[in-house]
A and B are shown apart, each in its own frame.
Chain A
Amino acid sequence: GAVVSQHPSRVICKSGTSVKIECRSLDFQATTMFWYRQFPKQSLMLMATSNEGSKATYEQGVEKDKFLINHASLTLSTLTVTSAHPEDSSFYICSARLAGKETQYFGPGTRLTVL
């Protein structure tokens, strides 16, 4: 149980385009989903917390207009990187948590490369 999927696993795009990443909880309902960013050989950095049906809460320094998050259902959250630039290239990982529980289950990650 507690499986989280992410799609796509890898994406290469041109500078200026937008990229959408999907995060799905496959066998449970996730009232809260989280989006992280990870640079090579570094720890995970929380970007935003997404609650179903409400606006996402962004961490300090994360541009909400740059990283659009939608959590339209209890099993799906999307992260859209708008007008991507090479500095947005990174590994993006989502996680999902059951209501009232502390454990976060992570997706397999999406490696974004912006040329």
Chain B
Amino acid sequence: AQKVTQAQTEISVVEKEDVTLDCVYETRDTTYYLFWYKQPPSGELVFLIRRNSFDEQNEISGRYSWNFQKSTSSFNFTITASQVVDSAVYFCALIRGTSGSRLTFGEGTQLTVNP
């Protein structure tokens, strides 16, 4: 069975600080995909990134960056120079690489960026 753990329930930072959201996963599959989604107060889940298990290259997109390390089963997400608009719940998720698989979500991390 798959499991995704986001140990940080809530994080509060001041604007312009850097913040890292942790994600640790468990799976026995060799092929799988990892995701990060953002859920602002409006409720909609916004897709941020997908990473497959064979690609450990880190990725940067503007102020967002992701660090995927298979050795520690982690897929951490860093926001640089945080802004108030980054305040949201962030979910890490995993899906097996086989057809018909379900998306397994972590419990989410509530990020609050204060001005």
Contacts and interface: CB of A to CB of B under 8 A. Distances in A.
Interface of A: 2, 34, 41-44, 46, 49, 91, 93, 95, 102-109, 111
Nearest to B101: A102
Contacts, number: 45
Contact of A107 (B37, B44, B103, B105): B44
B43 A111 contact: yes
> Shortest 8 CB-CB distances between A and B: which pairs?
A106-B45, A108-B44, A109-B43, A102-B33, A43-B105, A43-B107, A103-B50, A44-B105
Interface of B: 33, 35, 37, 42-47, 50, 91, 95, 97, 100, 102-103, 105-108, 110
A44 B43 contact: no
A103 B105 contact: no
B88 to A, nearest CB: 13
A105 B50 CA distance: 12
A108 B107 contact: no
29 contacts: A2-B47, A34-B103, A41-B110, A42-B107, A42-B108, A43-B91, A46-B102, A46-B103, A91-B43, A93-B43, A93-B45, A95-B45, A95-B103, A102-B50, A102-B95, A102-B97, A103-B33, A103-B35, A103-B47, A104-B47, A106-B37, A106-B44, A106-B46, A106-B47, A108-B42, A108-B43, A108-B44, A109-B43, A111-B43
